[in-house]
Amino acid sequence: MKFPQIIYAFLITLTLYACSNQNDKRTQTKAKKLKPLVEQFADLRVIRYSIPGFEDLTLKEKKLVYYLNQAGLSGRDIIWDQNYRHNLSIRKALEQINTAYIGDRTSDSFAAFKVYLKRIWFSNGIHHHYSNDKIKPNFTKTYFIDELLEKSNTQLDQEIIDVIFSDLDSKKVNKKSGVDNILSSAVNFYGPDITDQEVINFYKKAYNGPKGMPIEAGLNSKLVRENGELVEKIWRSGGMYGTVIDQIIEWLEKAMKVAENKSQMEALKLLITYYKTGNLDIWDQYCIAWANSTEGNIDWINGFIEVYNDPKGYRGSYESIVEIKDFDMSKKMEVLSQHAQWFEDHSPIMEEHKKKNVVGITYKTVHVAGLGGDASPNSPIGVNLPNNNWIRKQYGSKSVSLGNITDAYNSGGSSGRLEEFAFDQEEINGEKAYGEVGDKLHTALHEVVGHASGQLNEGIRQPKETLQNYYSTIEEGRADLVGLYYAFSPKIQELGLTDNWRALGKATYDGYIRNGLIMQLIRIKLGNDIEEAHMVNRHWVSAWAFEQGAKINAIERITKNDKTYYDIKDYQALHEIFGQLLKEVQRIKSEGDFEAAKALVEGYGVKIDQKIHAEVLARDAKFTSAPYSGFVNPILHPIMNEEGAIIDIEIHEHKDFEEQMVFYSKKYSFL
């Protein structure tokens, strides 16, 4: 599970102290200091992140980071093809135009083309990375055909040209109620004529793994119709995406040879075997080995993992994150893992839904050393894996906070939006004093305690099957509610995580309601519904809590100077309301109550008060900072000796976003 970037995250300065074998000679590399902000266009901001502590790694550790990063980047074409069947053809054509066009490059139309190209690069395809809406060009079809294609000698099928300039395939992922979610989604996980009911029926009969140990059915395949029958095209070596996966395997094999310890080596060996076979039972074995591999300075995420892009929640998007442990911050936050059972025991959920033995939760703050696939250019700020419920219950999970990524998201400083949307000076002061640590703690509670808590009732199938298109937002909201419930608790001060639990809790509640009901609306076009799973969950949590809180004067919606604000009057009452909602949401998950999930999400999460939305957009218009951010990745550059052996890894930087994306297309295009 991912914890996405939020508009106002916390600002933290992190320092990494890496441990190593004293006999392993260290090498030093200094990256050139560059401004964090690379450029801004449309609704997007491209920034840089540093890799603190990389220079302190041993040469062997640097090699491991380098090989894992190369494996991650090698899978780039997969996410493009997963996102939409024509994406790779469109990317190739646009990049050819960008390179070879001999017409007027100073015109407004060509400037619009450049913005369009960068938006496509940012989203790994022609659909917006967050809203899932198709990105529309701000130049004409005639200009594209007669000018850009003609004067760059670029070929593109008419069918694809028509898609770019029409309403065809307008939504990458459509989870709305009342429509066939599969047929109305352009994501390339299913054949074009496959329906919701066919998917449901297929997986009722498909292999589901050993009893009590269900596999993540459908995670690594495309479901298509062949000779009238539905079949899975498995993503593996020798199968679909085989040429790309072979490249991934080659780098993982190199990584295995420089693993820090036996557990890392065994985990990588299983990951390689999984990529070679496509066997989801082996994927589960890998997830167990990876979850138990907690020693060492380096870690990774690699595979078909998060299912947000599948309207039915089966298929995993390709993703890669390479991590270096931040020992100082991880030690400080380990206290949450150590007290996980206390949080479970004191949760407001029903006793039968509580885990009697919460095991294996590890939490650490890491510095990202490389992003790939669905994690790039836009990255989460926290991750909790594995996603398979029975593995989490029996073997535990890893929760990580991406420290340097959070730092980078906030590198631009305050934009003034806090002063615009906070109700009064007391709320502003609270955010400035405790908002940063409150956000950090809420993220940690969300990942460590939230996703690891609760259990399914005996005999209930996996939530993606019972809750279907509502599962992702229900699960993220459930984890948010765990974090909210405990953010306003004296326990966090008892554990040494704050010096004032009430002040921190108030700032956290103010920030969550402000974001869920007002500030996140700046990301939505007027008239549209909220659709992205995390945004939906923040809205239904906030809207439900407001409705209940308004009845008892715990929270009030106030209009001041024709501007809308939410003012929390009774934080303890709101704490109890969050607890009530958490109890219900856990029941929904534990019992597989689809209708209750639908009522909660559709009733509180999707629809926006259009009058308030228009007002929020008007108030936000004066701010220039874009609402979405993503990254230019540092380059890990190997230094070779005369024999071709790596003697060091240096950090270099691309000069801008375009240079990175052109470089990636030249080096990592395998489909």
Exposure string for 554-582, b = 16+ CB within 10 A, e = fewer = bbeeeeeeebbbbbbeebebbbbbbbebb
Question: How many Cα atoms sit within 13 Å of 16 on the Cβ side?
Answer: 26
Q: What is the pLDDT of residue 497?
A: 92
Q: Is 254 helix (H, G, I), strand (E, B) or coil?
A: helix
Q: What is the pLDDT of residue 20?
A: 30
Q: Is 552 helix (H, G, I), strand (E, B) or coil?
A: coil
Domain-wise residue ranges, the chain: 42-75+240-409+638-671, 85-171, 412-633
E strand or H helix at 229, and its extent?
Answer: strand 229-234
| Strand runs labelled E in 504-619 | 555-560, 563-568
Closest CA relative to residue 349, chosen from 442, 444, 455, 441? 455
Residues 92-119 have pLDDT tens digits of 999 999 999 999 999 999 999 999 999 9
Q: pTM of this prediction?
A: 0.82
Strand duo 44-48 + 628-632: pairing: parallel
Closest CA relative to residue 112, chosen from 86, 93, 94? 94
DSSP class per residue in 617-639: HHHHTT--S-SEEEEEPPEEEEE
Helices (DSSP H) in 400-452: which residue ranges?
403-409, 417-421, 425-430, 436-444
Report the CATH architecture of 42-75+240-409+638-671.
2-Layer Sandwich (3.30)
Question: Which carries the bigger pLDDT value, residue 563 or residue 327?
Answer: 563
Q: Which residues contact 345 (CB under 8 A, 6 or more apart)?
A: 354
Q: What is the pLDDT of residue 186?
A: 98
CA angle 579, 584, 586 (to 5 degrees): 95
pLDDT > 90? residue 362: no
Q: What is the pLDDT of residue 452?
A: 87
Percent of the chain exceeding pLDDT 90 equals: 84
pLDDT > 60? residue 413: no
- pLDDT bracket for residue 337 (50, 70, 90): confident
Q: Cα(179)–Cα(233) distance, rounded to whole angstroms?
A: 26
Q: Is 325 helix (H, G, I), strand (E, B) or coil?
A: strand
Q: Give the alpha-carbon dihedral of 279, 281, 286, 291, to 10 degrees.
A: 150
Bond from prior residue into 377 cis (ω within 30 degrees of 0): yes
DSSP letter for 2, please: E
User: Which whole number is the average pLDDT over 439-462?
Assistant: 91
User: Which whole number is the average pLDDT over 181-203?
Assistant: 97
pLDDT > 80? residue 25: no
Rg of the chain over CA atoms, in angstroms?
24
CB 355 within 8 A of CB 454: yes
DSSP letter for 135, please: P
User: Which whole number is the average pLDDT over 490-506?
Assistant: 96
CB 139 within 8 A of CB 109: yes
CB atoms within 10 A of CB 318: 30
The mean of the pLDDT values for the chain is 92
pLDDT > 50? residue 350: yes
Q: What is the pLDDT of residue 34?
A: 72
E strand or H helix at 40, and its extent?
Answer: strand 37-41
Q: Cα(129)–Cα(309) distance, rounded to whole angstroms?
A: 10
Q: What is the pLDDT of residue 415?
A: 67
Residues 527-581 have pLDDT tens digits of 999 999 999 999 999 999 999 999 999 999 999 999 999 999 999 999 999 999 9
Q: Cα(366)–Cα(380) distance, rounded to whole angstroms?
A: 13
